[in-house]
Structure 1
Amino acid sequence: MRATIVGAGAIAHAHAHAIAAIDGAELTRVVDLDPDRARALADEFGAPHAGTDVSAALATGDVDVLHVCTPPTAHLEAALTALAVGVHVVLEKPPVLSLAQMDELVTAEAASSASLTVIVQHRFGSGAVRLRDLLDRGALGRPLVATCDTLWFRDPAYFAVPWRGRWETEGGGPTMGHGIHQFDLLLSLLGPWAEVRAVAARQDRDTETEDVSMALVTFENGAVASIVNSVLSPRETSQIRIDTQRATIELEHLYGYDDSAWTFTPAPGEDVAHLWTSDPDAPESGHLGQLEPTYAAFAAGQAPPVTSADARRTLDLAASIYRSAFTGETVHAGTIVAGDPFHASMAGDGAPWAAVAATTGASR
């Protein structure tokens, strides 16, 4: 499987390292608007070709998988171009800027011989795989209560990069760009969500988007969860806690985890401690854990372990958090469709603080 990376920024290195570790995969091309940066990444990982035009790279006919590691605003065009010529697509998060764009990708994938997947590497750590199995088998009883916190810190200088903190180029704030990995993991553990009530605010950063959001989510299985996404939190942490009938399972890490990041606490009187058998030698959650089975699926002509439908469900929750926060409504899963302003943009008709700024003449 011959891979091309488009976008040679920091996250591209995680993709390149993973490709190098997969038997039968090879990085052959790097594309970036900056030719020097493309050449540097290509040289670092032994790729023979570097360029600035993704269409030209795809036209060579020697690309099997395109890894899209650009800023989010460029994801859609690159992915559509690849799918049109039968090239598999691996998209970094957030996959696209809106549900409308996601639906466009789903339609393009259906018409293509290739498949699309989105990087959600936290699903593939050994602890998450183990917990998903226990929950699916009912070994821990029903899940009842959960918390999911992405409490990170991004200073004002971080948002000086022109595409950050803007609806039209980043899609949203920490709900889209930061917390989406963590609550995607929660969805993979607890299953389909049913409804959400949320708030979002721009507390301190000079952005168009929110810098914090909070959501209360009810799942189809009856579990209830709180989700917090912040870029205002000096002590950074990523946390998930799930309380079931028979145990509490907790994960605390920052940008990736190994088995030592998990805590398992049986409920009083419950003999379930033996069900949690951690492996100190298990690799950390990361791109390789997702991309290895993904490449195997691509090569076999099978659906990848994370499908475009999976990615849309997570994006639907993000859009629904915004819609609930900006309208005050409870939003049900699957109700944001074409014609809804939150289908076309995560901002809907505009964030409340934008309307206040327009009225008062304040800066954004």
Structure 2
Amino acid sequence: MTTAFDPIDLSGLALSNRVALAPMTRSRAGAGGVPTALTAEYYAQRASAGLVITEGVQPSPVGQGYPDTPGLHSAEQIAGWREVTDAVHAAGGRIFAQLMHTGRIGHPVLLPDGLVNVGPSPVAARGQVYTHEGPKDFVTPRELTGDEVRATIGEFVTAARNAVDAGFDGVELHGANGYLIHQFLAPGSNRRTDEWGGSPQNRIRFAVEVAKAVVAEIGAARTGIRLSPGNPFNDIDEPDPEGTYPALVRELDTLGLAYLHVMEVGPIRDLVTTLRKNFSGPFVLNPETEGPTGHDALALIEDGTADILSFGALFLANPDLPARLRTRGPYNTPDQSTYYGGGAKGYTDYPAL
């Protein structure tokens, strides 16, 4: 019987176990979106994960949606990430960078002067974003032109190349949680009538073209993608994920990606099972609930539902989570007040066993 503690070959990359660190925004980057020494310490502490997936990293200045998040579009950022990847590799870990363009999510005060939030259509998300000036309502994004859609794909490509130059083992394209790729997938945020909108086949085009372009640049074995079918986060309206995601995954499967990472939100296990059947490569699942210990989720490896499980808050608070899962605890409790921003408290000060 396969367990979460068995090694796995991730498209040629040997992983020591099947427990992954899920991507989590922590808003602790330094000036200019540059990772710090504290960032390197944080990820190195969690290098016992079979795979470390970073927080969302903006591929371009206009892709930033939150304060103090890191980028992969400047020489300084690449150098900062090199310190992180070196630390993780020295600790025996494997690390992918999650490329996250937030699209309509964010606010112009978070962007360099003159830039405004963009999206597939000029449809504002309901809700607010935290800024250093206080909470701000989401704004109506400027609709990307056809040429700008292609240019945005190019931004993902450049960031992927920068990630490899920074020492990452690969990249994960963030197609979940209501950010730009997800905005193209969802009919509520994508009202386009050109080749990028309308039918499910047109709405999946942006995700597929980003993946194709990144694969052409850095290789399929270094490229993964994360999806969250039907997830309403960030005011996503996606009433028929069953009509969209199997077609998307079938297209992605032809590319030979390193993995497909699905975030399970709501009662979609049947759809998760369908997507797993439609994808021939390694399947990573972020289960609907990891629970206070994560033990129940481990059965999803044993019964073949997933090849790898990713854990969020549980890994945030327990830097040596694979060891704790193996011994069934004990576990540290996450401090939600320190999730975003700040320094070492709630970031690198959680004790190991």
The two structures have a TM-score, normalised by structure 1, of: 0.26
The two structures have a TM-score, normalised by structure 2, of: 0.27
The structure having more radius of gyration, on CA atoms, is: 1
Q: Which has the higher strand share?
A: 1
